[in-house]
Amino acid sequence: MAGGKETPRQKMIGMMYLVLTALLALNVSKQVLEAFAAIEDNTQRSNENLYIKGQENLATLAEDFKTLNDPKDQAKKAKIKTYLSIIDKLDKETGKMIQYIDGIKFKLLTDADEEFDKNSPKLKDKEFIIWSKYDSKEPVKPIRFNLFKVEHKDNFDVPMHALVGSEIGTITSKDGMELWNNFKKLRKSMVEIAGSYSEGIGQDGKKKIWKLKVGDINKFEDSKDLQKQLNKMMKASGNKVNPEDSSTLQLVYELMSKNEFDEYGEDKANIHWLGRTFDHAPLVGALASLSSLQNDVLQAREKLIALLKSKVSTGEFSFNQIEAFVAGDAVVTNGGELNLKVTMAAYDSDKNPTVVINGGGSQETGKGVVNIKKIATGNGEQTVSGSVTILSKSYIPYTKKWEHKYVIVAPQGSISLPEMSVLYTGWDNKIVPVVAGSVSSDINVIGGTKRKTSWTLDGSKYDGYFVNVASGTKQVTIQLTGKDKDGKTKNMGTFKYKVKSFPKAQLAGTTISKTSGFIANVSLGADSPFTGVTFKVVGGNVDDIPFNGTVVPASVISKVRIGKKVPIEVSYTRNGSGKVEIATGVLKVVN
């Protein structure tokens, strides 16, 4: 358009089109630049709010320090003095950075030929660029700028030249690199100042000393990678970070961390943060980025002051520590219901509670908690009670009663032999159920019958059950249950047993006398595990000659020569069973 062999009218139309396009572009550019000014204005408002929040917490600590004059409060006052000293160091470092960045802003405005008088500001006057000035009493407070009044908002050359150089790929600006290095130093300084201090005497009677040294992490894939590197660095040898401070210190470091080199655009790699931030940035855009840096600094300051403030409480009662607190059942069994009460407990580490235990007991005071030890005697449900007293900030006692219920059970243990899990038919199998933590127990027998009983063995009395199994049964299942203190029945386990026939008795003796005969007896043998088993011999035969009772007369072998062996069958019954059974053997005939 507007060229070639066009008619004058066509050339005029083309030229008008170009002018219109240019005007539209200028209008869009103006809107974008105004948007930068609006963003910067919002950032400065945020900076003021962060500054005020930090100052409010600082003022609270300072006021507490002035009013704590009771001798009992000297430990707490010493803590506050430590925290105020830390904040003072932080403010010296952050104040330098805030003022340094404001100085760069002034330089950019001057290089862009903006007209302003930094010594004669007028707050919220739309005709002035500078709305406030540096106050030595408020060194951390940034100067307020009005970028809407800046005439050369679209100046791209000044920020690029001042903070980057001529090429984005190579940073040649000394001021730019100084800004980058100062910001890194401040990150390191703030974290180390807030993480390195001594604070009172610990529970072990030793002074609590916290130490932290950090390096530069300027390359990370993402937030997760940064956290991983930072966590490793903070746990490095020589560091001892207060666990209460760790998360905030890490957050502050993350907040002030930026990848030094990264991709920029489609075709550019390993571009410095300065280049990515200020490459051909309009003047108002560069000033907004600098205010954003101040916002990072003030956020970090506010979080650190809030952390220190949280260590000292305000209000009628003192609370400077918070811990998770769990209370619940003192006894629970596998498969049973566990009931817990979980909450957060707040306490003042400088004013630990006083506890009274009804009935006596020992106690040890820890972090706002008194650990009680008491010998458990008796059985079943028991109750321990007492009172706990805390002091207000005016040392007025506040007392509440407390009680805790618990169950005492006899110490129990069991050993199982899975391969020996056997029940016998025709016998009172003795079962003693053991259910720890229950008031009573019971069994359910599947494949057999039960009857409750008691017996004595080796001087000890046992309460349990006789379990009987019918002949032909291959397996018995016993379900164990128990009742808790609330009367609820709970399943405590299922146990399976193999079934075998009761062992046959063996003939006692190996010889028969031609003179006196033989007394027939049977037994299970010396290795039998059964107790209380008795047998009655009712008769039998020797070499097919019958006899009655237990006495085998000599006459039955009168014709048998000495040394010969004769077969014998003995008929017997066992207690608990009316069945007649046979025991066989061989007897050697002797004189």
Closest CA to 533 of 510, 503, 507: 503
Hey, what are 204's tokens? 């072990």
* In the predicted structure, residue 195 carries a pLDDT above the cut 60: yes
Residues 264, 251: Cα–Cα separation, whole Å: 26
Residues 352, 365: Cα–Cα separation, whole Å: 7
Per CATH, the number for 506-590 is 2.60.40
pLDDT tens digits, one per residue of 79-91: 999 999 999 999 9
pLDDT tens digits, one per residue of 547-563: 999 999 999 999 999 99
- Report CA-CA distances (Å) from 395 to 71, 313, 315, 356, 480: 12, 15, 13, 18, 56
- Report CA-CA distances (Å) from 230 to 93, 188, 194, 255: 22, 12, 16, 12
pLDDT tens digits, one per residue of 485-527: 677 888 888 999 999 999 999 999 999 999 999 999 999 988 8
* In the predicted structure, residue 345 carries a pLDDT above the cut 60: yes
Query: Average pLDDT of 448-453?
Result: 94
Residues 448, 478: Cα–Cα separation, whole Å: 9
pLDDT tens digits, one per residue of 396-448: 576 778 787 766 665 555 666 677 889 999 999 999 887 776 778 899 999 99
Q: What angle do CA 426, 428, 434 make, to 5 degrees?
A: 140
Q: What angle do CA 264, 269, 270 make, to 5 degrees?
A: 100
* In the predicted structure, residue 472 carries a pLDDT above the cut 60: yes
Q: Where in the chain is the domain with CATH 2.60.40?
A: 418-501, 506-590
* In the predicted structure, residue 33 carries a pLDDT above the cut 80: yes
pLDDT tens digits, one per residue of 39-77: 999 999 999 999 999 999 999 999 989 998 888 888 889
The proportion of the chain whose per-residue pLDDT surpasses 70, expressed as a percent, equals 82
Q: What is the DSSP letter of 142?
A: P
Average pLDDT value over all residues in the chain: 86
Asked if 271 contacts 264 with a C-beta cutoff of 8 angstroms, the reply is yes
Instruction: Provide the strand spans (E) within 197-249.
Output: 197-201, 207-210
Give residue 11's pLDDT: 60
Closest CA to 520 of 503, 505, 507, 534: 507
Beta strands 489-501; 422-425: pairing state: parallel
Give residue 370's pLDDT: 74
Give residue 13's pLDDT: 55
Give residue 294's pLDDT: 97
Q: What angle do CA 93, 235, 237 make, to 5 degrees?
A: 95
The structural architecture, per CATH, of the domain 418-501 is: Sandwich (2.60)
Closest CA to 39 of 272, 300, 302, 282: 282
The string of DSSP letters for 331-368 reads ---TTS---EEEEEEEE-TTS--EEEETT--EEEE-SS
